[in-house]
Chains A and B, each alone.
Chain A
Amino acid sequence: MAENTGAKKKVLLDFEKPVAEIYEAIAELEAMSKAQNINVDKEIAALKKRAAQKEKEIFAALTPLNIVQISRHQLRPSTLDYIGQLFTDFVEQKGDRLFGDDPAIVGGFAFFQGQTVAVVGHQKGHDTKENIYRNFGMPQPEGYRKALRIMRMAERFNFPIITLVDTPGAFPGLGAEERGQAEAIARNLLEMSRLKAPVLSIITGEGGSGGALGLAVANQVLMLEYATYSVISPEACGSILWRDPAQAEAAAKALKITAPDLLKLKIIDGIIPEPRGGAHNDYAAAARHLSEAIAAFLQNYSGKTADEITAERYNKFRGMGFFK
């Protein structure tokens, strides 16, 4: 399965329309200059500057629903994209050894700066064909069981575990229910809570509910700048609580699903910055930011004992909640 290695074509979201218009003008100018052999370099440079300025303005005032759109961007780097950028000698592990393999979750072992780590993540596609194969990143129970198999093996060999989270949610299908979607997720939550290896989870795109949490019971939970993490999709929340899916904007705001909001609530540990316009604009730059975060995490946990690691993780989740 060929994965994209980088975003070649600029795909703009609807709120980026003012920028798109400038790019159109640039394209027109370039075509004209070619046809009529006129030098418009100066004009183009000015327009490019204006596009960058406009983009900066737009990104400074993003609504939560805009961020949802970025987090779902079809060209947003996927787990395999990051694995390609960040690791070497990746040995993929497939199958749960019980029923099957689930292409919506990928994982295995690889070198990160000379150290073997286990890496597991949701896998979306960049086009329709890939997305059908990957089930749009919505795992079956086999995906969670495969992930657990990899994590347990990592624990046995004392490899740190890195999970990359990017899913609309666990797949709500007949077969998934039959084979225990709920049990598979629950089991991961329990087992991840007591893994002796340090676990770092990075929400890279969509952190969709239980399907995301099933890979995110970690010592440290980080989010990319334009990732989201939510108990329910804004659309579904709108249709349940407001009885109107068009209320997604209101729901997205109310649910507090962006990285800055969740950091303020102290339910994530940090934010990894993204290149301007989002990670899809520059895979290498996005990966560099991730790389720094991973390196810092591994450094931090290299001296800790298994007891310290499990106690820290348990206490972190034990303390989650607001009540009086």
Chain B
Amino acid sequence: MSVLEWFSKQKENASEKTAERLDIPGDLWVKCPSCATILYKKDLEDNQKVCSSCGYHFRLTFAERLNLTADAGSFREFAAELTAVDFLDFEDTKTYQVRLQENQAKTGRNDALVCGEAAIHKYPVVLGIMDFAFLGGSMGSVLGEKFVRAAEKALEKKIPLVVFTASGGARMQEGLTSLLQMAKTSAAVAKLNAARVPYIVVFTDPTTGGTTASFAMLGDIHVAEKGALIGFAGPRVIEQTIRQKLPRDFQRAEYLEEHGFLDAVLSRQELKDYLARALKHFVQQEA
């Protein structure tokens, strides 16, 4: 057997193995990316998409997050119509226009942040939920505008703003304008502060880049889901910069709590009750 044959044989074996793995019906079973336990999909969904074996929190879509957070039927969306425009005619391997259409088709939403009025255990709030599935939850003009409109709604109604973050950072396809959304959203938080409207941030996996370095880090209350990655620079960039291996829990929610940036790290099951408990104090204050 020649060396080349040997290599191609190896390759065949490898592809056989992959095929074996794929034999698990994708719609019934899911493998936990953390502990590799095979989980029955229905069980996982009943458990709020938390691994029953290791407690790993799977990422949620907008609809799943909404169901777990807002009281049934309480959500009234606003600014849903806002849609991104490809004002730079940006084209990398695809045009921005095509990427937008693909992500809109995939998620059924116009952009990566959905805002509405809602109730959490009957406490009225303005609720914003970021969807990482939409272009990595990236912040462009629409996201910035919707965040500010959510803040303005909270100001107008004098009710708390609760935002679930999930974002890879700024949306490069909008160039510098995406960066400026950081200033725009942060300035809106200043308005909330001045009017004494509470602002609660729930960090979910992952929240990084310009989103972390703007409205996400400016809450009155910061909570995070267990294990969520939260940071400014991505771990790979940091490793390349400092040429040093990073601690295992680096940039995880627990690490940020230890370093003073979070009030609580909670499991998904505890989250809604925690929010209600916090909200209770601010209703009393305004009454």
Taking Cβ atoms with an 8 Å cutoff, the residues of A that contact B are 170-174, 176-183, 185-187, 189-194, 209-210, 213-214, 216-217, 229-232, 237, 240-243, 247, 250-251, 254-257, 262, 265, 267, 313-314, 317-318, 320-324
* A232 B172 Cβ-Cβ under 8 A: yes
Rounded to whole angstroms, the CA-CA distance of A167 and B243 in the bound complex is: 21
B82 within 8 Å of A (CB atoms): yes
List B residues 52-111 near A (Cβ within 8 Å).
Answer: 82-85, 87-88, 90-93
* B172 A240 Cβ-Cβ under 8 A: yes
Give chain B's interface secondary structure class: helix
- Closest chain A residue to B207 by CB distance? A182
B287 within 8 Å of A (CB atoms): no
* B141 A323 Cβ-Cβ under 8 A: yes
Rounded to whole angstroms, the CA-CA distance of A204 and B193 in the bound complex is: 33
- A58 smallest CB distance to B (angstroms): 26
B187 touches which one: A174, A210, A217, A240 (CB < 8 A)?
A217
* B179 A209 Cβ-Cβ under 8 A: yes
Taking Cβ atoms with an 8 Å cutoff, the residues of B that contact A are 82-85, 87-88, 90-93, 140-142, 144-145, 148, 170, 172-184, 186-191, 193-194, 209-210, 212-218, 231-234, 237-238, 241-242, 244, 246, 250-251, 259-261
Contacts of A255 in B (CB 8 A): 88, 172, 175-176
A173 touches which one: B140, B181, B242 (CB < 8 A)?
B242
* A181 B233 Cβ-Cβ under 8 A: yes
- B88 smallest CB distance to A (angstroms): 6
A321 touches which one: B184, B186, B210, B250 (CB < 8 A)?
B184
Give chain A's interface secondary structure class: helix
* A178 B232 Cβ-Cβ under 8 A: no
* A324 B83 Cβ-Cβ under 8 A: yes
- A218 smallest CB distance to B (angstroms): 10
* B210 A322 Cβ-Cβ under 8 A: no
Rounded to whole angstroms, the CA-CA distance of A267 and B181 in the bound complex is: 12
- Closest chain B residue to A230 by CB distance? B176
* A181 B232 Cβ-Cβ under 8 A: yes
- Closest chain B residue to A265 by CB distance? B177
